[in-house]
Structure 1
Amino acid sequence: MPWMLLHGLAVSHRYLMPTARRLGPGSVYVPDLAGFGLSGKPATALDVGAHAATIADLIDRLGTGPVRLLGNSFGCQVAVELAIRRPDLVAALVLTGPTTDPAAATAWGQAGRLLRDLPHEDVRQTAILARDVRDAGARRILATLHHAVTDDIYGKLMAIRVPVLLLRGSKDPIAPQAWLDRMAGSLSRATAVTIGGAAHNVVSTAGAEAAAAIRRFVESPHEHPAA
């Protein structure tokens, strides 16, 4: 079954590659959300629903059938929205460092958590992230941040029927453990994993560990409905 990976706010497919390369065999798709990375640049920043619709159209065009959908950060919000709108397209969800925690659901709250996260990230990401921010532009990033903090991901979780892996780095202040525990409590089929030493960009800085946790998840009975 193919994978599709969705990146977070202000960034692109580039930082997802350490995990993406390890998810085979099989097809792994790593698109850039509209307005980011190498994608086209719509005049206005898309909200969560519009991003989900765009990804649904992409999966339909690819003709892959249902995919295992991995989101990181803002990409988790798009993934959850897509799973609700088009459950026929999503076989399982992997939500890594999911936003937006209601305890910090403002632009300032998220900015503060980002500043706390940065010292724990690998400085070797800097060149990739700087390129992504330049490609997106400040106006699009800020508008998308507004969409992120006003999207109620928590309120949607009870509608999710596919198995879900909740994944975070132990040093991630943007998606703290208490937030993942709260999410797990609202999901009917959830598995939670914390990767020691990693921060918010766990899919970049701990790609091997993240991919191993994901493989364990998809190979376990959690991904399959009970008989």
Structure 2
Amino acid sequence: MDSEVRNLRLTTGITVPCLVHGSEDARPLLLLHAWGESRRSFDRLIPRLTGFRVYAPDLRGQGDADKPPDGYSLAEQAGDAAAILDALDLQSAFVLGSSSGGYVAQQLAVGHPERVAALVLVGSPLSLRDRPAFTDEVGRLTDPIDEDWVRNSLSWFPLLHAVPRWFIEDRVQDGVRMPAHAWKRILDGLCAATPPTEAGTIHAPTLILWGAHDGLLPRRHQQALAARIAGAEFKVYPAVGHLVLWECPEQVAEDATQFFGAVD
């Protein structure tokens, strides 16, 4: 299938690159990556999403996107996602968000419900009001970002499955390319926000995928998230940690494809 990277100038004032992959007549699927990553974190997933026209942007402050000093509240991050759909001339799309990208996807579904045809949340928080233990460490970051620090930060999210070394090294480089202000302000924006399912209602059909050994997001929170979204499906991956996308992209692709395929 053909792939291209388009540079999108958004109405929110920034420019972001967006990978476009798949048949033009296939149903659109927007992928939202996690904090500290880039569109390349979907490199092992996208080839398996054969039935979709996939759009994978770098988000503000990350990857090759613009890295302005501000605009990192959760509402603004969701506004960027809506502006990406505008720039792609898409009225709506399926949306899959990984980790904090799923938090942005929830906010998109609450604030712009007409834009989200269905939602897959992959290791996505219910709330980040209780700031993660590593928040203070991130707050001490200065430029340039140290590569060893980024590599060591991966220990926050233990892996239970083998992940290709090239993929991990690519994620390290994602982190190195981010300036300190982006590391801090994206996390601050996520943690300061009212959780989307408290701010409004998600009406889109939703599938929640969660690793049973996730040390960041407890099961009770995932069950509460599912309970707040009418009709949501909740699937547990038994031997997987927080980084579901990293550990089992094949299963994520299979479950997402089946779920989206059942949506009218």
Give the TM-score, by structure 2 length. 0.75
% identity of equivalent residues = 25
Q: Which amino acid aligns with 2:116?
A: V
Question: What is the root-mean-square deviation of aligned Cα atoms in Å?
Answer: 2.5
Alignment gaps of 5+ in structure 2: 1-26, 138-152
* Pairwise CA distance, 1:77: 1.6
Aligned twin of 1:117: 157
Deviation by residue 1:97-132 (Cα, 9 ceiling, x = unmatched):
112545x72142668997452253637243112101
Q: Which has the higher strand share?
A: 2
Query: Is 127-136 or 156-165 further displaced after alignment?
Result: 156-165
CA contact (8 A) 1:52 1:78 kept: yes
**Residue in 1 that maps onto 2:174:** 132
Bigger Rg, structure 1 or 2: 2
For 1:176, the equivalent position in structure 2 comes to 218
Q: Tell me the equivalent position of 2:260.
A: 218
Report the alpha carbon displacement of residue 183 of structure 1 after superposing the two structures with TM: 0.6
**Residue number in structure 1 paired with 2:207:** 165
In structure 1, the partner of 2:140 is none
Question: How far apart, CA to CA, are the structure 2 residues paired with 1:123 and 1:179?
Answer: 30
State the match for 1:145 in structure 2.
187
2:235 partner SS: strand
Q: Which runs of 5+ in 1 are unaligned?
A: none
Aligned mate of 2:57, from 26, 31, 38: 31
2:130 alignment partner AA? A
Q: Work out whether residues 35 and 45 of structure 1, in 8 Å CA contact, stay in contact via their aligned partners in 2.
A: no
Q: Flag the 1:157–1:46 CA change in 2: closer, same or farther, 3 A.
A: closer
Tell me, yes or no, if the aligned pair for 2:159 and 2:243 is still in contact at 8 Å: no
Q: CA deviation at 1:24?
A: 2.3
Contact 2:126-2:222 at 8 Å conserved across structures = no
Secondary structure of the structure 2 residue equivalent to 1:18: coil
Please tell me whether the aligned partners of residues 2 and 68 of structure 1 are also in contact (alpha carbons under 8 angstroms).
yes
CA contact 2:107–2:196 (8 Å) conserved in 1: no
Who is 2:22 aligned against? Answer: none
Letter matched to residue 108 of structure 1: A
Indicate the residue corresponding to 1:55 in structure 2.
81
CA contact under 8 A between 1:161 and 1:189: conserved in structure 2?
Answer: no
Inter-CA distance 12–114: structure 2 relative to 1 (3 Å threshold): same
Aligned length, in residue pairs: 221
Q: Normalising to structure 1: TM-score of the pair?
A: 0.86
Residues of 1 paired with 2:249 and 2:159: CA distance?
Answer: 19
Residue 168 of structure 1: SS of its match in structure 2? strand
Which of the pair has the greater relative contact order for Cα pairs under 8 Å at 6+ separation?
A: 1
Query: Residue deviations 1:16-65, cap 9 Å, x none?
Result: 22222212223100101111001111123511111111121111121122
2:240 counterpart (192, 198, 204): 198
Kindly indicate whether the alpha-carbon contact (under 8 Å) linking 2:28 and 2:53 is maintained by their aligned counterparts in 1.
yes
Match of residue 106, structure 1, among 131, 144, 149: 131
In the alignment, the residues of structure 2 paired with residue 66 and residue 119 of structure 1 have an alpha-carbon distance, to the nearest angstrom, of 34
Q: Secondary structure at the match of 1:182?
A: helix
Change (3 A) 1:173 1:101: farther
Identify the residue that residue 91 of structure 2 maps to in structure 1: 65
Aligned to 1:208: 250
* Equivalent residue in structure 2 for 1:3, among 21, 29, 35: 29
Q: Are the counterparts in 2 of residues 174 and 200 from structure 1 also a CA contact under 8 Å?
A: yes
After superposition, the Cα gap between the structure-2 partners of 1:89 and 1:49, relative to the gap in structure 1 and judged at 3 Å, is same
